[in-house]
Amino acid sequence: MNASKTNTSTSSAETSREPLSQRLAGAWSRNQSLVPTLASVVLLIGMLGYAEIAYGRVFHAGTISSLLVSFAPTVILAVGMTIVIISGGIDLSVGAVVAFTSVAGVMLMNIGVDGWLSMLLMIVFGAAFGLISGVMIQYFNVQPFIATLAMMFLARGLASILSTTPVVTSDEAPILLLATDWKLIDGPKVNDFTVTPGLLIAALVVIGGVFFMHRTRTGRTVYAIGGNESSAQLMGLSVARSRVGIYVISGALAGLAAIVYTAEVSGKAQNVTGIGWELDAIAAVVIGGTLLTGGYGYVLGSISGVFVIAALRLIITKDGRISPEYLTIITGAVLLAFVLLQRALTRRRAS
């Protein structure tokens, strides 16, 4: 026992005698994967700070709550996309799946199907698209890009077949309850901090995504698949089941995002809903620090990426002089910068 204490104290002493430069270099090499995520957080804080100084009323309860509620569907999509990209895949179908499940769900409600059952079926429909993608990718060796692109066209086409005009639920539909404003802070005038059940659902999805990725065997398998699929198979991990499950989760979350979004727009569903949402989700995930090559990434980082995009839109809206079309250009520039940062860090790790 005394020998053990001696060894421990000796090791501690040796560590303490290491030059500061070596200790900093060791910490840097161990935590390089966190750099893009931290960069997105710093960027988000800087953008919000700039908006507050330049335009004011950004850190007000009303503005923050409006931002959170309006981006709840994107948060849900980003969680699913994070899991997919960490595995080394991609899912281009989620925006179209949102459109199909939204239209299908509202139409089911309008023909008399129970509202809660219709919402459950929306999630099931989304999971079914994910299941088809996962099976094609895993068992037919179709590239994720091609498989999910096919599902994107299929879902968008089915949504258009169902209806090319907006469909709206009745005023009594239970889906509208998810957009109920719950006032948490009663501020002066309209400066109240409110949340909705839809926002709470998004928060639960984030918590569930963090738990799934870091506290479950399947989550660790996802990281292993993205890092080195051959090694994951040699370790006896359930690669096939996990990969199919990843896309089922992504599809199911797209169906859930459709529920939250449909509630927020007063029960109106359209076949053109969700166009470009998959690109927003991918951009948020990459800005949040997840490597497109797989193996590295964090759910919370992706949420930071979502709100970087939200902050961009907020600045453009408040400025009034910037054309909304520039949002795409600015988002692309930010995305390119983070991709280059990821590339630089990946090369340093490889060397």
Domain 35-346 architecture: Orthogonal Bundle (1.10)
pLDDT at 207 over 50: yes
Instruction: List 168's β-bridge partners, or say none.
Output: 268
Cα 103 to Cα 57: distance, rounded to the nearest angstrom: 36
φ, ψ at 185 (rounded to 5°): -130, 125
Reduced to 3 states (helix: H, G, I; strand: E, B; else coil), residue 168 is strand
- Cβ(81)–Cβ(94) below 8 Å: yes
- Cβ(101)–Cβ(215) below 8 Å: no
Secondary structure tally for the chain: helices H, strands E = 15, 4
And the tokens for 171? 């005023």
Cα 151 to Cα 157: distance, rounded to the nearest angstrom: 10
Q: What is the pLDDT of residues 238-286, one digit of tens each?
A: 999 999 999 999 999 999 999 999 999 999 999 999 999 999 999 999 9
Q: What is the pLDDT of residues 18-60, one digit of tens each?
A: 675 555 445 445 556 677 888 899 999 999 999 999 888 888 8
Cα 160 to Cα 230: distance, rounded to the nearest angstrom: 41
Every domain of the chain and the residues it spans: 35-346
Cα 23 to Cα 144: distance, rounded to the nearest angstrom: 41
And the tokens for 74? 């994107």
DSSP conformational letter for 325: T
Tell me what pLDDT residue 83 has.
Answer: 97
Q: Is the dihedral of CA 36, 42, 45, 47 positive or negative?
A: negative
Cα 290 to Cα 88: distance, rounded to the nearest angstrom: 10
> For residue 167, how far is the Cα from the chain centroid?
27
Cα 93 to Cα 204: distance, rounded to the nearest angstrom: 23
Which residue has 């980082």 as its token pair?
Answer: 301
Q: Of 97-106, 121-130, 164-173, 330-339, which range is least confident?
A: 330-339
Mean pLDDT of 83-107: 97
Which residues make Cβ contacts (< 8 Å) with residue 100, sequence separation at least 6?
Answer: 125, 129, 155, 156, 158, 159, 162
